[in-house]
Chains A and B, each alone.
Chain A
Amino acid sequence: MKEIFKITVSLTAVCVVASLILGFVYAKTEHARKLNEEKTEQQTIQGLLGYGAGEKIPSDLKVYPVYRYVITSDKGKTLLGYVLPIKDNKVVLAEMDLSGNPLKIIPITVEPSALSDKAKRDNAVNAVLPKGSKSLYAQTVFVADMGGKRLGYVVPGVTQGFKSFIKLMVSLNPDFTVTGVAVTSAEEDPGLGAEIQKSFFRNQFVGKTIELLKKLKVVKEPLPPNYAAALDPAKAKAKGLTPEQVKEIKEKHLKDNIYALTGATISSRAMTNGVVSTVKKFVYRLDKLNEAIKKEQLSVAF
């Protein structure tokens, strides 16, 4: 009896000390980690828009985030709410029902710069909703403008990978052709599934139009060597390919399906499905959103 008491106390003490240390470290590092994550996200978006590390970002490039919320109204109906930036540095919450009919436009009293903080944004959205409604944050898409003209969109997506979820970002040009794919977090096996992050795999999606994406499949065939070289900028340089040659090879293979990674067919399929469904959903939603903006004659900032 005495011993079991001792054991319990000893194990509890170990656990308490361990959790105290963890709590302390978490509290000390949380802020810096969040900042780093935000910075990485910014860099990923800029990289996808064609302004990677080391390149100067033009001053007239503007990226507007659009936040989508799922709102359960006080009558139990499910609605969609878009937090949109409008002219004169103001923000509105545009409500619409699931088939895309606009319902209400509610102005939100919050600085656009404070919107990137999820807790502040959630509070601002909840504050303007009638009592009894609930809102749930769903997704952020980024609309990029360059000098008043639409440059493209950056859309995040999630897909079920081999072990856990793969988070990715797809950038599209105004005609919904893929211009870039980035993997923001994945826990695929190193050396096998983790190769989805390599440029020779990611760049296979670049240039695919929405029509091509709809029919896109994964094939278990070896990647043609010159196509592999053209897809990887470092390899293309090592092989001495000129930009024209790279373009020509890429054009020749534009209608090809996605070549599966060796030993990682599941991860390759997951990525392909993820990219395709992300783009499809985004195109559908943007269409509805644009319709609603037109109907309500909203003067959005982008």
Chain B
Amino acid sequence: MNRNLKLIWNGLIPENPIFRLALSMCPAVAVTTSVENGLMLGLAVVFVQVFSSCTVSIFKSFIHPRIRIPAYVIVIALWVTVIDMILPVISPDVYKKVELFVKLIVVFAIIISRLELFASKEPLVPSFFDGMGMGFGFLFGLCLIGAIREFFGTGQLLGYDILGFNPLLIMVLPAGGFFVIGFIMATFNWFEYKITGKIPTSGGAH
């Protein structure tokens, strides 16, 4: 497989930010009460991750290694603010929906960890695809959690009534987020154990 495609695949499943790396768990629990919320936050993360990865990858030789973390934070904050300013001009309707999510992204662990682990060492093109992979992996994770929580918590999917009643209200409350993420993570680990025969090691949650 082409390396770039591999990077995207890597972010989606083998190194999924939520289920395998266990990074950015706070937003993953907090906003995934419905598929739509997950989708909106996921899209915003894709943009910020790709832009930040590319910026850091281009300018990595100018950033002094001892101040790389503050410099990365500035880069992320810069892109978040730029999106926050441009989006209401381009498309006010979309902005109304993602407004709440865009501002949250500055402090996401997944973005700064990809800048530190990948973009600061690799050239532009792989960094771009790594950013895409991680962004879409995050989006996929949020949508999956959102779908499960929305379906069991409110009996709906994407806002459409399916069951017509609430089977398990706890799923839309914060506690439900922990349950769902725990179950999906366990499923991922179980599959990996079945395929490779090794007990998976875990990442560090943030």
The answer on a CB contact under 8 Å between A21 and B100 is no
A6, A14, A238: the one within 8 Å of B161 (CB): A238
Q: A139–B66 Cα gap in the complex (Å)?
A: 49
Interface size class of B (residues with CB under 8 A): 20 to 34
**A33 at the B interface (CB under 8 A):** yes
The answer on a CB contact under 8 Å between B89 and A14 is no
B64, B85, B172, B173: the one within 8 Å of A26 (CB): B85
Dominant secondary structure at the A interface: helix
Residues of chain A with a CB closer than 8 A to B173's CB: 262-263
Q: A3–B65 Cα gap in the complex (Å)?
A: 11
Mark each residue of chain B from 144 to 188: 1 if its CB lies under 8 Å from any CB of chain A, else 0: 000000000000000001000000010011100000000000000
The answer on a CB contact under 8 Å between B64 and A194 is no
Which of A142-150, A184-192, A271-279 makes up part of the contact surface? A184-192
The answer on a CB contact under 8 Å between B62 and A190 is no
Residues of chain B with a CB closer than 8 A to A21's CB: 78, 82
The answer on a CB contact under 8 Å between A190 and B63 is no
> Do A190 and B31 contact each other (CB < 8 Å), given the known contacts A10-B63, A40-B92, A262-B172?
yes
Mark each residue of chain B from 131 to 143: 1 if its CB lies under 8 Å from any CB of chain A, else 0: 0000000000000
Tell me the smallest distance from the CB of B42 to a CB of chain A, in Å. Answer: 13
Q: A26–B37 Cα gap in the complex (Å)?
A: 27
**A15 at the B interface (CB under 8 A):** yes
The answer on a CB contact under 8 Å between A36 and B89 is yes
Question: Closest A-chain residue to B31, C-beta based?
Answer: A190
Residues of chain B with a CB closer than 8 A to A191's CB: 31-34, 37, 172
Q: A190–B172 Cα gap in the complex (Å)?
A: 11
The answer on a CB contact under 8 Å between B92 and A36 is yes
The answer on a CB contact under 8 Å between A7 and B88 is no
**A103 at the B interface (CB under 8 A):** no
Residues of chain B with a CB closer than 8 A to A136's CB: none
Residues of chain B with a CB closer than 8 A to A194's CB: 100
B30, B66, B89, B172: the one within 8 Å of A32 (CB): B89
**A11 at the B interface (CB under 8 A):** yes
The answer on a CB contact under 8 Å between A25 and B64 is no
**B199 at the A interface (CB under 8 A):** no
Dominant secondary structure at the B interface: helix
Mark each residue of chain B from 51 to 67: 1 if its CB lies under 8 Å from any CB of chain A, else 0: 00000000000111011
Q: A233–B31 Cα gap in the complex (Å)?
A: 26
Q: A187–B84 Cα gap in the complex (Å)?
A: 14
Residues of chain A with a CB closer than 8 A to B89's CB: 29, 32-33, 36
The answer on a CB contact under 8 Å between A263 and B82 is no
Residues of chain B with a CB closer than 8 A to A98's CB: none
Mark each residue of chain B from 66 to 104: 1 if its CB lies under 8 Å from any CB of chain A, else 0: 110011001101100110011011001000000011010
The answer on a CB contact under 8 Å between A22 and B71 is no
The answer on a CB contact under 8 Å between A190 and B71 is no
Which of A14, A32, A188, A191: most chain B CB closer than 10 A?
Answer: A191
Q: A18–B51 Cα gap in the complex (Å)?
A: 14
Q: A10–B74 Cα gap in the complex (Å)?
A: 13
Residues of chain B with a CB closer than 8 A to A40's CB: 92
Question: Closest B-chain residue to A188, C-beta based?
Answer: B100
The answer on a CB contact under 8 Å between A10 and B101 is no
Which 4 A-B pairs have CB atoms at the shortest separation, nearest pair first?
Answer: A191-B33, A10-B64, A32-B89, A18-B78
27 interchain pairs (CB within 8 A)?
Answer: A6-B64, A10-B62, A10-B63, A10-B64, A11-B67, A11-B71, A14-B67, A14-B71, A15-B74, A18-B77, A18-B78, A22-B81, A22-B82, A22-B85, A25-B82, A25-B86, A32-B89, A33-B85, A33-B89, A190-B33, A191-B34, A191-B37, A191-B172, A192-B33, A194-B100, A262-B169, A262-B173
Give me the interface of B with A, judged by CB distance under 8 Å: 30-34, 37, 62-64, 66-67, 70-71, 74-75, 77-78, 81-82, 85-86, 88-89, 92, 100-101, 103, 161, 169, 172-174
